[in-house]
């Protein structure tokens, strides 16, 4: 009996040791499941990249000279097609304002300045071009980042028809000479309540025709000047210089670029920088807030102050904001031969609405 129990206990121990040393059978491998939207690794949310714009819509009051110098070169350099809407500055800004809930324009090119910004600060997008460093320090962006200066415009330029002036037997060297009785009704001028170039001409007169800038004596001159116009107030700046070249007027109160262009093209005209003082104001470009082709608009701003286009400006009938580039047109007088005056731009902008209303009152009384 004892022998039997010993044998049984030995068998139990052997079986137990065998069970402890046994390895479990491997679990059957799971079939690989195809990756689905639910099982794919979660990536950070990324906005899809927008395709580059191939169109740019530009509103501009600029002259044909400037348009022809810049737009084809921009299209060639970028492959972007420009749709240009030409109109006076006032009309361009009014249209941009009317469209602000659904912007149609990408850029206001020309006519943009500190005064326009102050009157309509909500219409423009901030942008600082990497080419800003090429611009003279005095014309770079300050606290306001929504417009970029790209050229200088001589705002007090006079254009004379040589044949008519010879017939009248008088000379014009400055603003005071415009009051000669022989010129009554023979002067072409714009309306500063509608035209940016005419507004610049008004502030130029107010700066240099008083005992002090913008004083009452200067306004007395403006009253006499408006009387000399004899009711002629042109809505288009191009009608001024073209009208003089065509012999419709003896004198036009205009700005440098188109006047020098007409002279360069061979018209029998003389360009006069008023001896009392001539202001050069920076012309600017601004991107419309909510522009449908914002990337193309930024490229356009970059292009305008690039060395390539600044060289074009300096070589034709405008002046670059990069003064290291020499003037290339022999009909452009250097500043050393001109009585250059310097406008208080913020002061004029602050008084723009007031002065436009005062001018309109003078204009309406003369009519």
Q: What is the dihedral of CA 33, 34, 37, 42, to 10 degrees?
A: 70
Within this chain, do residues 144 and 174 fall inside the same structural domain, yes or no? Answer: no
Which three-class secondary structure string do you get for the chain?
CHHHHHHHHHHHHHHHHHHHHCCCCCCCCCCCCCCCCCCCCCCCCCCCCCCCCCEEEEEECCCHHHHHHHHHHHHHHHCCEEEEEECCHHHHHHHHHHCCCCCCCCEEEEEECHHHHHHCHHHEECCCCHHHHHCCHHHCCCCCCCEEEEEEEECCEEEEEHHHHHHHCCCCCCCHHHHCHHHCCCEECECCCCCHHHHHHHHHHHHHCCCCCCCHHHHHHHHHHHHHHCCCCECCHHHHHHHHHCCCCCEEEECHHHHHHHHHCCCCEEEECCCCCEEEEEEEEEEECCCCCHHHHHHHHHHHCCHHHHHHHHHCCCEECCCCCCCCCCCCCCHHHCCEECCCHHHHHHCHHHHHHHHHHHHHHHC
Within this chain, do residues 359 and 234 fall inside the same structural domain, yes or no? Answer: yes
Within this chain, do residues 124 and 241 fall inside the same structural domain, yes or no? Answer: no
Within this chain, do residues 80 and 209 fall inside the same structural domain, yes or no? Answer: no
Within this chain, do residues 246 and 359 fall inside the same structural domain, yes or no? Answer: yes
Structural domain includes residue 74: yes
Residue range(s) defining the domain that contains residue 202: 157-279+353-366
Structural domain includes residue 27: no
Within this chain, do residues 201 and 326 fall inside the same structural domain, yes or no? Answer: no
Structural domain includes residue 318: yes
Structural domain includes residue 343: no
Within this chain, do residues 214 and 292 fall inside the same structural domain, yes or no? Answer: no
CATH of the domain at 191: 3.40.190.10
Within this chain, do residues 163 and 274 fall inside the same structural domain, yes or no? Answer: yes
Q: What is the pLDDT along the chain (367 residues), one digit of tens a residue?
A: 433 333 333 333 333 434 434 444 444 444 444 444 444 454 556 666 778 999 999 999 988 878 998 999 999 999 999 999 999 888 999 999 999 999 999 999 998 988 889 889 999 999 999 999 999 888 899 889 999 999 988 888 999 999 999 999 999 999 999 999 999 999 999 999 988 889 999 999 999 999 999 999 999 999 999 999 999 999 888 899 999 999 999 999 999 989 999 999 999 999 999 999 999 888 899 999 999 999 999 999 999 999 999 999 898 888 899 988 888 889 998 888 999 998 998 899 899 999 999 999 999 988 7
The total of structural domains in the chain comes to: 2
Within this chain, do residues 169 and 313 fall inside the same structural domain, yes or no? Answer: no
Within this chain, do residues 229 and 358 fall inside the same structural domain, yes or no? Answer: yes
Within this chain, do residues 66 and 202 fall inside the same structural domain, yes or no? Answer: no
Within this chain, do residues 73 and 204 fall inside the same structural domain, yes or no? Answer: no
């Amino acid at each position: 009996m004892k022998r039997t129990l010993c044998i049984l206990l030995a068998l139990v121990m052997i079986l137990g040791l065998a069970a402890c040393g046994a390895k479990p059978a491997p679990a059957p491998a799971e079939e690989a499941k195809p990756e689905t939207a639910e099982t794919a690794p979660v990536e950070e949310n990324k906005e899809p990249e927008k395709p580059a714009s191939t169109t740019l819509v530009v509103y501009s009051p600029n002259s044909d000279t400037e348009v022809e110098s810049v737009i084809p070169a921009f299209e060639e350099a970028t492959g972007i097609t420009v749709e240009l809407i030409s109109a006076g500055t006032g009309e361009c800004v009014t249209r941009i304002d009317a469209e602000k809930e659904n912007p149609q324009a990408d850029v206001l090119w020309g006519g943009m300045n500190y005064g326009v910004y102050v009157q309509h600060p909500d219409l423009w997008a901030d942008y600082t071009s990497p080419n800003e460093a090429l611009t003279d320090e005095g014309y770079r962006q300050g606290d306001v980042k929504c417009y970029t200066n790209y050229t200088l415009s001589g705002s007090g330029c006079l254009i004379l028809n040589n044949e008519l002036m010879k017939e009248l037997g008088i000379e014009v060297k400055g603003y005071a000479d415009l009051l000669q009785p022989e010129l009554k009704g023979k002067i072409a001028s714009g309306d500063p309540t509608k035209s940016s170039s005419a507004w610049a001409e008004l502030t130029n007169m107010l700066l240099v025709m008083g005992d002090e800038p913008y004083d009452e004596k200067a306004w007395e001159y403006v009253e006499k000047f408006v009387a000399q116009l004899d009711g002629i107030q042109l809505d288009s700046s191009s009608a001024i210089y073209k009208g003089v070249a065509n012999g419709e007027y003896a004198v036009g109160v205009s700005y440098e670029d188109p006047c020098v262009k007409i002279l360069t093209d061979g018209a029998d005209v003389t360009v006069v920088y008023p001896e009392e003082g001539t202001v050069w104001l920076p012309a600017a470009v601004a991107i419309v807030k909510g522009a449908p082709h914002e990337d193309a608009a930024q490229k356009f701003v970059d292009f305008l102050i690039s060395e390539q286009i600044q060289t074009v400006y300096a070589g034709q009938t405008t002046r670059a904001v990069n003064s290291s580039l020499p003037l290339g047109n022999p009909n452009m007088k250097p500043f050393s031969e001109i009585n250059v005056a310097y406008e208080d731009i913020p002061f004029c902008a602050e008084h723009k609405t007031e002065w436009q209303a005062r001018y309109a009152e003078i204009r309406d009384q003369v009519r």
